[in-house]
Amino acid sequence: MTEPATPADQTVLVTGASGFLGRAVVRELLAGGYAVRTLQRTPSRTPGATDVLGSVTDPEVVARAVAGADAVVHLAAKVSLAGDPADFERVNVGGIRTLLDAAQAAGVPRVVHVSSPSVAHHGDSIVGDDAGPADPALARGDYARTKAAAELLALARDGAALGDGSTPESASAGSVMRVVAVRPHLVWGPGDTQLVARVVERARAGRLPLLGHGAALIDSTYVDNAASAIVAALRAVDDVHGQAYVITNGEPRPVAELLAGICRAAGVEPPRWSVPASVARAAGSAVEAGWKIRPGADEPPMTRFLAEQLSTAHWFDQRRTRRDLRWEPAVSVDEGLRRLAASYS
């Protein structure tokens, strides 16, 4: 293996840096000595980073953001359980295409594409698997489908010649783009407005059931671990380009235990009632159909994808991830729950 790229004199563009994980990645890069530029629609709110405001779908804004960058970490995405399919396509697929085109033209040699394990989830249990192939045709829902398509686009650009858009065969050594995809799984921690906030809100309202017996084992990732793994992928990209890696804490827990831990950290009662998984899946399909006709103001209370996620096992073999990225999670699930509790207190 080659030595990792050093932070000195390296400028990294992070897209989607105003999001929960994006801010953590920016902090991790700054702590490691990188110069950080961000691209998102609202300020990143991270001292030390230079913001470029705008959409990842705007070619002019993206070209300005990538100019002079040594690497890109791409997190910007439309993340939702429901919405207009065209919006998912425009942001998740169109956004990565626009970014890759601009980065290639600007001569940016390294790209870390932040994907999702949902790109290879087909509704069945995942028990100790590695990163399976992304498949838009089998992915569940518009988010997973478009993220799968985006990952395929990103990895297809690996080895592309930089600068003039010529073929890889015509490029000189070192003048090609290297792309790696990473798939953080169920990222959570203090300040999370997605998983944690929704679990707590629904538990507080008495609307958080267990699906089945809540015994399905699921992996998750504490936010600081996800951020450090993404930076590790950036440092290792010259050796691991062209591949996809799932990132987790490597501590599978029964879904009931993980939900209870989050609820107790927030000072609310964990779920005490359950719904058969088959009923939840059917209800999720019905809610999705109704949501398309008359969307609500917030996320739908249940979708088929969400029902599958809460009632099937999904935990992953982390040996290849840790070996290739030369990375280990630093914060255990239990320590993460303690930090979460401290943030609520």
In tens, the pLDDT along 2-43 reads 444 567 679 999 999 989 999 999 999 999 999 999 999 888
Confidence of residue 272 (pLDDT cuts 50, 70, 90): confident
Give 161's DSSP letter. Answer: B
Q: What is the pLDDT of residue 78?
A: 87
The C-alpha atoms of residue 220 and residue 44 are separated, in whole angstroms, by 25
Q: What is residue 316's three-state secondary structure?
A: strand
Which residues contact residue 55 at a Cβ distance below 8 angstroms, ignoring those fewer than 6 apart? 41, 61, 91, 95
Residue-wise burial string across 189-224, b where 16 or more C-beta atoms lie within 10 A, e elsewhere: bbebebbbebbbebbeeeebbbbbebebbbbbbbbb
Please give the pLDDT value at position 296.
57
Active-site amino acid positions: 143
pTM > 0.85: yes or no: yes
**Distance from C-alpha of 235 to C-alpha of 239, rounded to nearest angstrom:** 9
Q: What are phi and psi of 70, to 5 degrees?
A: -95, -20
Report the percentage of the chain scoring pLDDT > 70.
Answer: 83
**Which CATH number is 11-184+222-248+317-330's, of 3.40.50.720, 3.40.50.970, 3.90.1150.10, 3.40.50.150?**
3.40.50.720
> Residue 181 in contact with residue 245, Cβ under 8 Å?
yes
What pLDDT digit, counting tens, does each position of 150-208 carry?
A: 999 999 999 999 985 444 443 444 589 999 999 999 999 999 988 888 888 888 888 87
Pairing of strands 217-218, 253-254: antiparallel
Q: Where are the domains of the chain?
A: 11-184+222-248+317-330
Strand, helix or coil for residue 150: helix
* Gyration radius of the chain over CA positions: 20
User: In the predicted model, what is the mean pLDDT of the chain?
Assistant: 86
Whole-angstrom Cα distance, residue 13 to residue 38? 5
Task: Name which residue leads in pLDDT, 314 or 320.
Answer: 320
Which residue carries 């979460």 as its tokens?
A: 340
